[in-house]
Amino acid sequence: MKILITGGSGFIGSYLCDLLFRKEHDVVIIDNLQEQIHGEDKYNSFLFRSIAGKARFYEEDILNSPSLGELIEETDIIVHLAAETGVGQSMYNVFNYVRTNSLGTANILEQLVKKNNNLKKFILASSRAVYGEGRYKCPEHGIVYPDDRDIKDLHKGEFECKCSECGKSLEPISTDEGSKISPKSVYGISKYNQEELVRSICGNINIPYTIFRFQNVYGMGQPYGNPYTGIISIFSKLSCEKKKINVFEDGLQSRDFIHASDVSEAIYLDILSKENNQIYNVGTGIKSSLIDIIKIIGELNSRTPEYEISGSFRVGDIRHSFADISKISNLLGFKPKVSLRDGMHEVMKWVDNLKVRSVVKPYESSINELKKYNLYYKK
């Protein structure tokens, strides 16, 4: 098949491109080689070099790609990965996130409407961020979907979500695809807007679609210079540099970490599947706290990295997140293969061997940006 990947030289895209190339598909990539992802020497970045010779490449932006319409006419599958990512940055870079994520998706869909095509499926990379805090259990009221955490509670170091009815602390439970949509950040809002656009347009012109809601994706090649995404690569790099790790809140906030190779496998299973118009969570179903991540780094390094539980917090962050993956397991036969420990071992070896700039400066700069716009609070 001929498969077009937008953002195909990015982190997830590079894994998917490699998998499709090994499966002998014809891969075409549109990507603008954003500096925050690829650095100043974009043609020599790890990610760009990883797709070399595996795809036909167009260095174009999805907002104004001159080749997009023609490529759509000859494409079997579109995998739309191109997007601005990261919660923190989205809260002050609002226009750019909405423009790239919402209008970029709208531009592709408009081309689908206007161009002759034989598209078999449109696949969208969405995010678990559309759920906001996701599902919790209250001892008094059962399943609940908490509102934003009260900033007064956060200042007092009370980080757990509370029931809006009785005020009791809630127990996080896995979030399934039928859970309430309640994004807490501009990033989450823009991802849900993408979903709605895809459902509307593809549904009305009878193009099958799939929407994947990715959990926290990690792996070798993740741009650790982007301080708003990829906590595993950032913590690993800070540890290799013997720098202190600033742990937000109390370090017990948790995420569902899934390796990029497992994510690309999930996409490929859907490409081969006859299931259409589905929404899938893509994760492991296992939650790990930031302290868990630091402990694994210490075990792999035989040295616990220096860290400080600062009590600081960012506006827009959620407390807990892990996926119910029974739907994708049942319909696509998806099963994550890479354990968190094995995946982190790979990441740590990779960042330790890279002869590149330190992560400390961009990380500190990101904190200063958040402070500037009153989006970061230090206890």
pLDDT string in tens for the chain (379-residue length)? 999 999 999 999 999 999 999 999 999 999 999 988 998 899 999 999 999 999 999 999 999 999 999 999 999 999 999 999 989 999 999 999 999 999 999 999 999 999 999 999 999 999 999 999 999 999 999 999 999 999 999 999 999 999 999 999 999 999 999 999 999 999 999 999 999 999 999 999 999 999 999 999 999 999 876 666 789 999 998 898 889 999 999 999 999 999 999 999 999 999 999 999 999 999 999 999 999 999 999 999 988 899 999 999 998 899 999 999 999 999 999 999 999 999 999 999 998 887 666 677 777 888 888 999 999 998 7
d(CA 235, CA 159): 21
d(CA 67, CA 80): 15
Count of the separate structural domains present in the chain: 2
Structure tokens at 278: 């589905």
Q: Residues 245, 235: contact at Cβ < 8 Å?
A: yes
* Residues near 222 by beta carbon (within 8 Å), at least 6 away in sequence: 11, 229, 230, 232, 233, 260, 347
Q: What is the CATH number of the domain that holds 111?
A: 3.40.50.720
Spell out the alpha helix ranges (H) of 23-67.
35-38, 46-51
Q: Are residues 46 and 167 in the same domain?
A: no
> For the whole model, what pTM was predicted?
0.96
Q: Are residues 241 and 298 in the same domain?
A: yes
Q: Are residues 128 and 152 in the same domain?
A: no
Amino acid sitting at position 12: I
Q: Measuring CA to CA, which residue among 246, 219, 208, 268 is closest to residue 17?
A: 268
Q: Residues 217, 12: contact at Cβ < 8 Å?
A: yes
Q: Are residues 113 and 48 in the same domain?
A: yes
Q: Are residues 279 and 216 in the same domain?
A: yes
Q: Are residues 16 and 154 in the same domain?
A: no
* Residues near 156 by beta carbon (within 8 Å), at least 6 away in sequence: none
pLDDT of residue 225: 62
pLDDT of residue 227: 66
Q: Are residues 296 and 316 in the same domain?
A: yes
Q: Are residues 141 and 179 in the same domain?
A: no
Q: Residues 287, 256: contact at Cβ < 8 Å?
A: yes
pLDDT of residue 357: 60
SS3 214: strand
d(CA 76, CA 117): 8
d(CA 321, CA 86): 15
Q: Are residues 158 and 188 in the same domain?
A: no
Q: Are residues 164 and 183 in the same domain?
A: no
| Owning domain of residue 366 | 2-135+174-377
Amino acid sitting at position 327: K
Catalytic residues: 187
Q: Are residues 152 and 263 in the same domain?
A: no
Q: Are residues 163 and 305 in the same domain?
A: no
pLDDT of residue 356: 60
